[in-house]
Every structure is written in C-alpha cells, then in structure tokens.
Amino acid sequence: MYSFILTLLFYFIAGLIVFRCVPKQFHLLAWGSLPIIWTSLLALTGLFETLLSLPSIISLLILFCGLSFFVLRKDQNDLRTISFAPPAVTFWILLTFLLGEFLIAIQVHLLVPWGSWDPMFTWVLRARFLVDGGDLWTQGFSNDLALLHPDYPPLFSWALVPLWSLDGSRSALAVACLTIPFFAGWMSILTGWWCLIETRNSLWGYLTVAIILGTPFLVYLHAIKSLDFILSYTILTSLAWYHFAKKEQSRSGWMICGFLVAWAALVKNEGQLWVVSFFGTLMLLQSLHFFKPYRKVNTNSQLSRKSILFASVQGVFIPLSFLIWFKISLAPPNDLFEPQRAFEISQVLQPEVFFNSFSLLVRLDQVEEWERHRLILNNLWNVLSNWKAEGLLLCSVPVLLLFILLLRKKPFPGMHLAIGIQLTGYYLVYLLTPYNPYWHVSSSMNRLLIHIAPAAVCLLGFSLCYSPVDSANSKQNAPEYARFLRLTVLSLPLVCLLFCYSQIRSNTFPWDFQSEPLNREEQLASLEFPPVSHATFVTNQFEPAMLYQMQFAVLPTVLVVDRREKTLIASFPTEEELKTYCQRNGWNLKQNRAGLGWAESITPDGPLPHMDQIRQRNGM
C-alpha cells in the first residue's frame, strides 16, 4: 500500500512542477515523460540499496524533500488568478478511453497479479533476487537461467526494489504501481505530439490517433505488464521529443531526445537496436541536408549540426554508461551470440524449440535458407490479417505511406528510415536465430512489430496533416459536419475497450488468463529448505511451467536440470515415487511433504537418469 501512496505523491508533485514551470504548449509531452523519470529515480534508488546498502527510504526521503522544496521556492502566480478554459469534447473522449483502459488493467491485475509469464519470470523474478537474495543477489543474472533472459537490462527490476522495500517482495500492487501509469504517459505523449502539429485539426490527425488507440493488442500488452508495451511507449516518446527538438531548435530538447533513445536500451535488448537505428538515421539525414525545421525560423536561431550531436550525446551518456556497466560486470552471454547454455537447458525442457547450439558466426549461412524467409513472410501475413489484435494498426502503415507517395506535396518523414533499420534488424534476428524458426517467429513477431508500429503510424499520419491550406481553417471555422466527423472518428477506439472487455468475459485467447500457483513457496518454507546457490531440480515430467514456478519460489537458489549439485529439489506425484528416486540415485532425503522434498547428495558423481536418456537420444 505504501508503494501506491508513494506513486500518487510523486505524480502529483512532478505534475505540479510541470504545470508551473513548463510552457503550456509542451505540458503533454512533459507529463507523458514522467513515468520514465519515476522509473529511473526508483532504479537509481534500488541500485544504491543493492550496491551500497543505502536504505531506499533514505533516498526516497531526499528525493521528495528536494521536489517539495523546488515547488515551494518557485515564485508563481496564485493559482486562483489562473483561468481555466472548459475542456473540449476531444478531452472528454480521450479521458473516457483512459479511464476505461485503467479499468481493464485493474481487472486483469486481479486475475493475474504478476502479469503473464513474460514479466513474471523475467524482470519480476530478477527483482526478487535483488530484494530477497542477500549476498546471492547476483544469482539473478546466472547463465543457468539462460531461458529466462538474464542478459536483459535490469532497469525495471531495480525500480521495484525501493517499492518492495516498503511493501515486501510479495506485493503485486507495487508491480502495478510501476507499470500502469505508463499507459497514461503513452496517451499524453501521443496527444502531445498531435498538439505540436500546426494543422492538428486535419482529419488525418484524428484518424492517426484513433488507429493507434483502437489497437486491442496494445491494451493487452499494457494490462499484462509487458515490457514490450514499455519499449513501444519509449520509442514513441523519443520520436515525439525529436519532433519537438527539430521544430523548436531546442538544445534541451535534443538532450531529452538522446536520453530517451538510450533509455530504450535499458528496457529490453531490442531497445539497443533502436539506439543504432535512430542515431544512424540522424547522422545520415544531416549529411544529406534533409535536416530542416518544420516552420520558418530565424537562421541565427538554428542549431548547428555539431550542437545537435553534442546535445544528443550528452543525453545518451548516463543511460548508456549504466548499460555498458551492466553488460560488462553482470550480464551473461546473449543467447543469440552464444546459445550453448540455453541449448543445454532446453534439451531437458523443450528439445523441440532449440535447433542450433553454435555461435553466431557459424550460423551466418542460415540467411541463405529460403525456407526461413518463406516462414517469416507467412507469419507476417498471419499477423497482418489478425484484425482483432494488431492487424489494423500494422496495415495502416503501408496505406498511409501510399497516401504520402501519392500526395507529393506532403513532407516525407525522414526518420522513417530508423523504423526501416529496426525492422531489418528484427528480420536478421529471425534468420540467424538458434531456436526453432517457426516457434521463434510465431511466438514473438506481433510483439516486435508493436514496438515500432505506433511510432511509424504517427510519423506518417501526422506528416499528412501538413498542407498548403492556411491554418485559419481551424476547428472553430470548420463546418459542423466536419467537426462531427472528426469526433466520431476519435470515438471509435471506445469500441476497442468494449471488445477487450468482452474477450476477458468470454475467456478468449490471449485474454484467457490462468493465475500461476504460488503455493510452492510456503511448502518449501515448511520443509526448511536451506538457502544454497544452486540445486538440482528433478520431476517425473519436465515442463517449463513447473520449473519456472519452482524457481520463483526457491530463490535465491538457482535451479539446474542438467547437472548434479550437492542439493536436490524433487517433485513427484506421490511420496513413494520421491523416496524410490532418492534411494536409487544416491540422494539422502532430508524433508518432504507428499511428493515434494529436498535431499543432499551422497555420491557427488551419482546418476541423473533423465540426462542419461538425453545422451542416449543424442548418440553421445
């Protein structure tokens, strides 16, 4: 509960600072970026607690004292003298959508408090290592967890540390407090970018916002607390600030833009590709003289290319430094480059999904296999045709691109090249993947495309808003039928919320949530399982779900399934099967309850029957 109060307090104080100190026309962009600031501050606080043993409560007190002092000392006009214009109909439509989405997110949170498998067994699991691991906290980045992506940057894991230091590491509310505000930030960024367009009242602007908001898959990713939604939000935010910096020729805008681009690299590994795509495109556009402001400004006020690059590099420095430190000091090898450990584990859990254990250089010849290209294109078609999830959003990109090419007077968004580079990178990953290509492509393509689709639609749709028509043709001067049409288009995403709600009620995929059983933790505590660094896990039928659930319960111990450690955790249907297994394979059973128990090794070189079977199957 403390995490909820703390989150509300931060957004209230920070929102007040933005309201008082930021020019009115940039309020939405600034408010929309607050989740990034809050997450960064929390992660820094958690990092201090982990590395320096500085209690999070001290860092948080210093932070809020500083924010309060800044608000109180700032000379501002009395709020009673500020006049507030009545909100337009557009505001009420967007607010209704936001509240409806929050209700769906809360409903999903009540069904699956930790989110889906992806967040629960990746960044949430690593956060529990950081909080409950004690001296063994680095075990959360062990290569023995290779199938759970321990090489992903732990920004959100560390951001949970101070919240859990207040609520306890069993608090799913803290996870919700960290992730749910990102949707409000995402909508604020989207509308803030829209408001920067001088001809924002064009129907193209309304249509662009409606297409993005009306995507059920975006609502789904946010509701399950997926970092794929956070990365999509970050890429959209970085391009919105790019638009602001380019339009206003603002050095601080370029610093913020650079910071946000690099911050994407701290969300997921795919964000690191976005850093390359964005800055590669930025340097190319400047060298080709495509870099011109959207509106005429005094030549003396334009920033030089050197100033722009220097300001961007200043913004990149802090997040990029953290990423380099993590990759050098903590991160295990990425499974795309060195998949050997992931291959060894998958031979026990999912032998059908891992095909190639060789390093990346050895797998380069996979790009010549036409079957892989055909598989990627077939799955792309399946994703595009899935109109109930993300198909409409993805199909709108080529349609809007076609309109820009046909209406040659519209300015082509050069930063779309960065989207193309990002797509090319994803395509190459699919070609070079060590996993079963069908499994890899079918299980992730829609999530990868959603990283960049909202940003691509904004670049194209908002570009179509520009026209030679004088801006005096505004909403106030527009015919009533035109205003009605715009508001009708903007209201269509409300149907998306009704659709999502109906999917939850009917338990339709992917909204067919099944809560993960977390009673293993209490069972192991009653068995007085010792906190060891590694333990062998054995069961009668290996499945990823059972291993991951047990791993979530047994931390800071890392469970291994392919080698014999000094300690064993075993789960069998009956107590008799458990005792028989231990007697036959050299384990001294210490404690058990029914078929779940732990034991110590009597013979260090004793057998692991399931590994012997795998070796025989592979002819080893």
Query: What's residue 417's pLDDT?
Result: 93
Cα–Cα distance, 73 to 503 (Å, whole number): 50
Backbone region of residue 168 per phi and psi (left: phi > 0; alpha: psi in -120 to 50; beta: other values): left
Q: Which residues contact 271 (CB under 8 A, 6 or more apart)?
A: 231, 234, 235, 263, 264, 265
**559-593 confidence digits (pLDDT tens):** 999 999 999 999 999 999 999 999 999 999 999 99
Backbone angles phi, psi at 389, to 5 degrees: -120, -80
Mean pLDDT score across all residues of the chain:
87
Partnered with residue 131 across adjacent β-strands are none
Supply the pTM of this predicted model. Answer: 0.93
Cα–Cα distance, 134 to 490 (Å, whole number): 51
Partnered with residue 534 across adjacent β-strands are 558
Residue type, 206: Y
Grade residue 357 by pLDDT with cuts at 50, 70 and 90.
confident
Alpha helices per DSSP H over 112-154: 117-120, 123-132
Q: Residue 347 has which token pair?
A: 């031979």
| Minimum mean pLDDT range among 215-219, 292-296, 452-456 | 292-296
Can you state the angle between helices 203-213 and 391-406, rounded to 10 degrees?
160
Q: Residue 226 has which token pair?
A: 């997926």
| Residue matched to tokens 């997040």 | 319
| Residue 372 contacts residue 439 (beta carbons within 8 Å) | no
Nearest to 175 by CA among 192, 150, 156: 156
Grade residue 87 by pLDDT with cuts at 50, 70 and 90.
low
CA 260, 156, 65 angle in degrees (round to 5)?
80
Grade residue 115 by pLDDT with cuts at 50, 70 and 90.
confident
| Higher local confidence (pLDDT), 525 or 268 | 268
Cα–Cα distance, 480 to 150 (Å, whole number): 56
Does residue 457 sit in helix, strand or coil?
helix
Cα–Cα distance, 312 to 305 (Å, whole number): 11
Grade residue 167 by pLDDT with cuts at 50, 70 and 90.
confident
| Residue matched to tokens 């099944």 | 514
Nearest to 425 by CA among 314, 313, 268: 268
Query: What's residue 468's pLDDT?
Result: 45
Grade residue 291 by pLDDT with cuts at 50, 70 and 90.
very low
Cα 402 to Cα 405, 410, 412, 458, 464: the distances in Å are 5, 11, 11, 15, 11
Q: Which residues contact 437 (CB under 8 A, 6 or more apart)?
A: 355, 372, 375, 376, 430
Positive or negative torsion for Cα 303, 306, 310, 316: positive
Q: Over 50: is that where the pLDDT of 298 sits?
A: no
| Minimum mean pLDDT range among 144-153, 349-358, 397-406, 472-481 | 472-481
Give mean pLDDT, residues 24-39: 94
Rounded CA Rg of the chain: 26
Cα–Cα distance, 566 to 353 (Å, whole number): 29
| Residue 390 contacts residue 449 (beta carbons within 8 Å) | yes
Grade residue 162 by pLDDT with cuts at 50, 70 and 90.
very high
Share of the chain above pLDDT 70, in %: 92
Query: What's residue 212's pLDDT?
Result: 96
CA 562, 564, 570 angle in degrees (round to 5)?
85
Query: What's residue 515's pLDDT?
Result: 67
How many CB atoms neighbour CB 341 within 10 A? 19
Query: What's residue 289's pLDDT?
Result: 59
Q: Over 60: is that where the pLDDT of 78 sits?
A: no
Share of the chain above pLDDT 90, in %: 56
Q: Residue 501 has which token pair?
A: 């709600």
Backbone angles phi, psi at 201, to 5 degrees: -80, 0
Cα–Cα distance, 123 to 134 (Å, whole number): 17
Q: How many residues does the chain have?
A: 620
**475-514 confidence digits (pLDDT tens):** 445 578 788 899 999 999 999 999 999 999 998 888 888 7
Alpha helices per DSSP H over 360-433: 370-384, 391-406, 416-432
Query: What's residue 428's pLDDT?
Result: 95
